[in-house]
A = this chain, B = another copy of it.
């Protein structure tokens, strides 16, 4: 592994007019990105957004990909280990869930809670106690393997901000550790809250090691991919022992959550025969192949308790896989899908009983009218464990644009309570995503997650819409760009039509031109209202407007005045 191709300077550079800041919360350094904007008064102030970039955007941080990130969390973990070493409740059990159930608020909970709040709120809406109680109830998780001390913990649950997952990882067709590491850094730069390493090609172990050591966000994997490589791709040669070795090795490395397809039972397989697109989950099809070859129950189902016992030693969270998720609109919400979901509910109860954190994976391809049922049944069957969905795509007819077809579904399923949205890139169904695709996928999913959050009334989310709209309304073009999800693109688009520097302070845009602007007239109406203390509409109409028209006539009807 070398870093010759990775542009580290780019990763150290913050977004325009932005700097990395930390808020001190009970001694914890909670990260935010501060965007400098011009206030209406003309004075600068800062607006703060949630930040997933880790230390990379600290100017003083020296990136060394060979060494990895600082292990800030190490101290929390060792202190906790020392505190509770003689307490038998925590013997071979270090999960956030076991602490939560026992009323203990961990540093991870404090940290994850703090960053859910806006920077300026003095009173936190999301408290550490809320995070603890949500985890204790199984409605939230903090994926945080004790072997991943580089992590900045975050919480996944329906009462918190909707999170976004990015998938990276090599394939047999294309494989390069450095390229995947570059995608990791790129993912967190563009707001990925979690990242899955789905490598299936060469150097799976080394690729994952590089990713975990350099990741400030939770890393998930699908261990059966590596297990399959161990048996040279022959699914029927898999067995639980091989799989067990893989998960122990990955848990030791620090993987924070495992996708495990334990809910795909032998008896469900025939229900897929009449589907239009059968089984499309790679993990699901591996298990199905194994079950068929041996005519035996899924070995992950049979050994689920042992999996729990291993995972609770590290605090690896389950992401219970939906091996029978629909691969097309035609197959959405069918018998196969919901048989498996119900089984995931049964496994959720078993895992939670053993204090292992659980989230549930969901589809996939679902038409708009069938999305809500997915959330309703997931919550009913799975004790409201956090739902983690791939999109869903709301139509199959737009390969090349599936970041859009799926962002539509994701925004909807998020607004119904899904906690983590797995992105889909424009390359879905067609090829392997490059960096541009990763960015396009992430921006589409930040939109979806944010749209869910404002739909649910999350104040921290709504603030950003209001700041941006205010900047737009006041023709603070640079503020509008810098408050946006992609300051580079918004400025570039503005430059295309009005490249002159002066246009950035102009009180008009290219749509209506300088002679007429709808925004200006509103300001005029408002200024009038403000100076005249209009509180009552009728007074405004009966009296104010009369004066207004007189004033208009006096000034020659001009309301458009450049600064």
Contact = CB atoms under 8 A, between A and B. Distances in A.
Contacts of A470: 276-277
Interface residues of A, number: 137
Contacts of A411: 368, 394, 408
Interface string A42-69: 0000000000000000000000000000
Nearest to A517: B285
Nearest to A171: B513
A432 interface: yes
A292 B545 contact: yes
A270 B537 contact: yes
Given A397-B465, A484-B400, A546-B295, A516 B447 contact: no
Contact of A401 (B327, B444, B529): B444
Interface in A290-334: 291-295, 327-330
Interface stretch (A13-21, A82-90, A148-156, A490-498): A490-498
Please indicate which of the listed interface residues A266, A407, A430, A549 has the most CB atoms of chain B within 10 Å of its own CB: A430
B395 A450 contact: yes
A281 interface: yes
A518 B504 CA distance: 52
Contacts of A494: 430-431
B447 A408 contact: yes
Interface in A463-506: 464-466, 468-470, 472-473, 480-481, 483-486, 489-490, 492-494, 496-498
Q: Is the interface of A mostly helix, strand, loop or mixed?
A: helix
Interface string A263-286: 000110111111111111110111
A183 B496 CA distance: 17
A518 B469 contact: no
A103 interface: no
A559 interface: yes
Given A397-B484, A484-B397, A513-B171, A273 B534 contact: yes
A315 B495 CA distance: 42
A219 B71 CA distance: 63
Interface stretch (A120-128, A210-218, A230-238): A230-238
A157 to B, nearest CB: 19
B473 A431 contact: no
A557 interface: yes
Contacts of A513: 171-173, 200-201
Copies of this chain: 2
B282 A328 contact: no
Contacts of A28: none
Contacts of A432: 497, 510-511
A282 B516 contact: yes
Contacts of A277: 469-470, 472-473, 519, 522
B171 A512 contact: yes
Interface stretch (A130-138, A139-147, A451-459): A451-459
A483 B397 contact: yes
Contacts of A430: 490, 493-494, 497, 509-510
A32 to B, nearest CB: 16
Contacts of A427: 493, 496-497
28 contacts: A173-B497, A233-B516, A267-B537, A267-B538, A267-B541, A270-B529, A281-B518, A292-B552, A293-B549, A293-B552, A293-B557, A295-B546, A327-B469, A328-B472, A394-B451, A395-B447, A395-B454, A396-B469, A397-B468, A397-B483, A400-B493, A401-B447, A427-B496, A429-B480, A431-B494, A431-B496, A431-B511, A432-B510
Given A200-B512, A286-B518, A292-B548, 12 more contacts: A267-B537, A271-B537, A275-B522, A278-B519, A285-B521, A292-B552, A293-B552, A328-B466, A329-B469, A398-B484, A399-B490, A407-B407
What are the 9 A-B residue pairs with the smallest beta carbon separation, nearest first?
A278-B522, A431-B497, A172-B513, A270-B540, A285-B518, A328-B469, A368-B455, A273-B529, A400-B489
Interface of A: 171-174, 200-201, 228, 233-237, 266-267, 269-282, 284-286, 288-289, 291-295, 327-330, 365, 367-369, 394-401, 403-405, 407-408, 411-412, 415, 426-427, 429-432, 434, 443-444, 446-448, 450-452, 454-457, 462, 464-466, 468-470, 472-473, 480-481, 483-486, 489-490, 492-494, 496-498, 509-519, 521-523, 525-526, 528-530, 534, 537-538, 540-541, 544-546, 548-549, 552-553, 557, 559
